[in-house]
Amino acid sequence: MQTNEYVADRFGAAGATLMAVGIVLSGPIGLAVVTVTHPAAPWTSAEAYAHQFHWAQTLPFYAGFVLLAGCIMVIAALFAVSNDAQRPRAGAALVATAAFTGLIAFNYVCQTTFVPALARAYEPMFAPAISTLSLQNPKSLAWAIEMWGYGLFGIATWLMAPVLDRTPVERAASRLMIANGVMSLVGGFVTTIRLDWVTTTAGMVSYGLWNVLMLALAALLVATFSARKASLSHDRTPPVSAHTSPIDHARHEIRANG
């Protein structure tokens, strides 16, 4: 029979895998596909944006939902494996993740559904909504939501970092969780000074570094949860006598693996 911790580790490994897939598809690969097929022109107006809009430009945001799901699963799994002393910080991380989920899900719904609908049926009355909610506009509300949404996830990873402290790999993941917190919060604060900084050279470099950090974190989390799961499987395997028949040995293995 599988323990709660084993199930949480398996859930966390799946979530970390989704994080990695979401980072790659919403970042480098997704942007490359859009750039090659239907690149969006620099923002000038809502009307110009609507005239050049193509559905392919929304693909990275669909991948963003995959990243969002992975982040939620990882934090939930870490909460499940946290001990009593870590539970207050882990609980606060859950709250921060819930706020992050609401903001980022809203943003991606706008990018994949609401803004495209307005662009396809463009009328002058739609211009204010498109300008406010499209991430193509570097001075839109959507960018403030995006940066502070991921800032909240940074808070969540920072708070949850102490849960990982058993092995060198776990401690490396813990340090990257703290680094994500620092980097994400700095990005949010810089956005309050200059909303469109994400489109500057510094902003693009920061975005690239964040993608590398998150991809490395996802890889370490997959390794961490997989190692914990394997350790639990080994601990639950009952001793088998040297005289045990192959059939009985198979039964032991089936019981041990749930």
The pLDDT, as a whole number, for residue 245 is 58
pLDDT (0 to 100) of residue 30: 86
Please name which of 128, 9, 21, 140 lies closest in space to residue 70, comparing C-alpha atoms.
Answer: 21
31-82 residue pLDDT tens:
888 988 999 899 999 999 999 999 999 999 999 999 999 999 999 999 999 9
Gyration radius from the chain CA atoms:
22
The predicted pLDDT at position 254 comes to: 53
How much is the pLDDT for 232? 83
Report how far residue 116's alpha carbon sits from residue 176's, in angstroms, rounded to the nearest whole number: 36
How does pLDDT run across 193-234, given as a tens digit for each residue? Answer: 999 999 999 999 999 999 999 999 999 999 999 999 998 876
pLDDT at 3: 81
pLDDT per residue as tens digits for the range 83-116: 999 999 999 999 999 999 999 999 999 999 999 9
The mean pLDDT value of the chain amounts to: 91
Q: Please give the residue that has the higher pLDDT: either 251 or 9.
A: 9
User: pLDDT grade, residue 251 (50/70/90)?
Assistant: low
The 10 Å Cβ neighbour count of residue 191 is: 19
Q: What is residue 12's predicted lDDT score, i.e. its pLDDT?
A: 97
Whether the per-residue pLDDT at 1 is higher than 60: the answer is no
- Minimum mean pLDDT range among 15-19, 23-27, 177-181, 214-218: 23-27
Structural domains in the chain (count): 1
- The first and second tokens of residue 18, run together, are 């989704």
Residue 27 lies in domain: 4-256
**pTM for the predicted model, two decimal places:** 0.87
**Residue whose C-alpha is closest to residue 164's, from 3, 16, 18, 20:** 16
pLDDT of residue 231: 87
Q: Which amino acid is at 168?
A: P
